[in-house]
């Protein structure tokens, strides 16, 4: 039986592919290209997710990739090894959704202490062979958590000591305002600082979602913008007053 490694994102998939090839193995890596820590999750219709993402940028090829991903997962007879981290909101959301889809099918997991998406290939290589079968309790708990999150269908999902939990649309607003100053700063710097502050002890959110919240704060008058707030590299922001 051939082995299929399932990675929680493009970056994770690239690093995992390098790790596998670096030790002379030829197993395939299947990458999940959605981020289920944000946006609607109450429908299994992939087009609903893509319509939501299209509000921010065009990604027609990603829609095809996501559909191909789920079809491959549903039909493959390969041995599955699922990589993820419980410290990353996007990776944990990926795992819960995948576990819910896989149901009672057997598969192995590599539940790492860091995050797959930012771990270097050489470190991932040291984890090859450390996979273990998912337990019945883990399977049932993942199913319960994901069904609860889908019912709530919140704008964000974040990692807490209790696991992945729903969060409101303004969850990261105070963090962004804390990074702003009375002086003009490049928006990219504010977003980067917010991401850094939100990454300990958990990796919670990506730059695109923080960008959308800065735009909302500008529209609400809680931040001032010099330039187009959708242009993170060119625009500057500061506190009012």
Which pTM was predicted?
0.91
Note the maximum CA span of the chain: 65
Which strands make up the sheet holding 132-133, listed edge to edge? 28-31, 3-7, 79-85, 108-112, 132-133
Closest CA to 35 of 162, 180, 209: 209
Domains and their CATH numbers in the chain: 3-152 (3.40.1360), 169-238 (1.10.10)
Percent of the chain surpassing pLDDT 70: 98
DSSP, collapsed to helix, strand or coil, labels residue 116 as helix
- Scanning the structure block, which residue is given the tokens 């735009």? 215
**Does the pLDDT at position 62 exceed 80?**
no
Determine contact, residues 226/184, Cβ cutoff 8 Å: yes
Percent of the chain surpassing pLDDT 90: 74
**Residue 113 DSSP class:** S
| Tens of pLDDT, residues 5-16 | 999 999 999 999
**Does the pLDDT at position 31 exceed 90?**
yes
**Ordered DSSP codes for 152-180:** H--SEEEEETTEEEEE-TTTTHHHHHHH-
Q: Please give the mean pLDDT across all residues of the chain.
A: 91
**Residue 117 DSSP class:** G
**Does the pLDDT at position 205 exceed 90?**
no
Q: Please, what is the angle between helix 89-102 and helix 60-75, to 10°?
A: 40
**Does the pLDDT at position 39 exceed 80?**
yes
| Tens of pLDDT, residues 106-155 | 999 999 988 999 899 999 999 999 999 999 999 999 999 999 999 999 99
What local confidence, expressed as pLDDT, does residue 53 receive?
83
DSSP, collapsed to helix, strand or coil, labels residue 61 as helix
| Tens of pLDDT, residues 161-204 | 989 999 999 999 999 999 999 999 999 999 999 988 877 777 88
Closest CA to 127 of 115, 141, 139, 135: 115
Rounded to whole angstroms, how far apart are CA atoms 16 and 23?
11
Token digits for 101?
């889809």
Closest CA to 112 of 130, 98, 134: 130
What local confidence, expressed as pLDDT, does residue 14 receive?
94
Which residues share a beta bridge with 225? 237
Residue 196: is the preceding peptide bond cis (ω within 30°)? no
Element (H, E) at 185: strand 185-186
Which pLDDT band holds residue 60 (cuts at 50, 70, 90)?
A: low
Rounded to whole angstroms, how far apart are CA atoms 191 and 171?
14
């Amino acid at each position: 039986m051939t082995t299929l490694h399932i990675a929680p994102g493009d970056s994770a998939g690239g690093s995992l592919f390098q790790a596998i090839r670096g030790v002379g193995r030829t197993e395939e890596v299947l990458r999940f290209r959605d981020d289920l820590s944000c946006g609607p999750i109450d429908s299994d219709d992939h087009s609903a997710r893509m319509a939501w993402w299209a509000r921010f940028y065009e990604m027609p090829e990603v829609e095809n990739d996501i559909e191909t991903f789920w079809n491959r997962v549903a039909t493959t007879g390969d041995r599955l090894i699922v990589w993820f981290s419980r410290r990353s909101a996007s990776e944990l959301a990926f795992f819960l959704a995948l576990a819910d889809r896989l149901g009672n099918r057997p598969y192995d997991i590599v539940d790492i202490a860091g995050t797959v998406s930012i771990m270097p290939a050489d470190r991932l290589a040291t984890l090859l062979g450390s996979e273990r079968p998912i337990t019945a309790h883990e399977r049932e708990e993942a199913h319960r958590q994901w069904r609860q999150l889908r019912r709530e269908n919140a704008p964000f999902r974040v990692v807490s000591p209790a696991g992945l939990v729903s969060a409101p649309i303004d969850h990261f607003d105070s963090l962004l305002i804390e990074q702003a100053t009375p002086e003009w700063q490049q928006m990219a710097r504010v977003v980067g600082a917010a991401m850094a502050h939100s990454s300990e002890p958990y990796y919670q959110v990506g730059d695109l979602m923080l960008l959308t919240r800065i735009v909302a704060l500008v529209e609400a008058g809680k931040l001032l913008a010099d330039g187009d707030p959708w242009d993170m590299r060119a625009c500057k922001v500061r506190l009012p007053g």
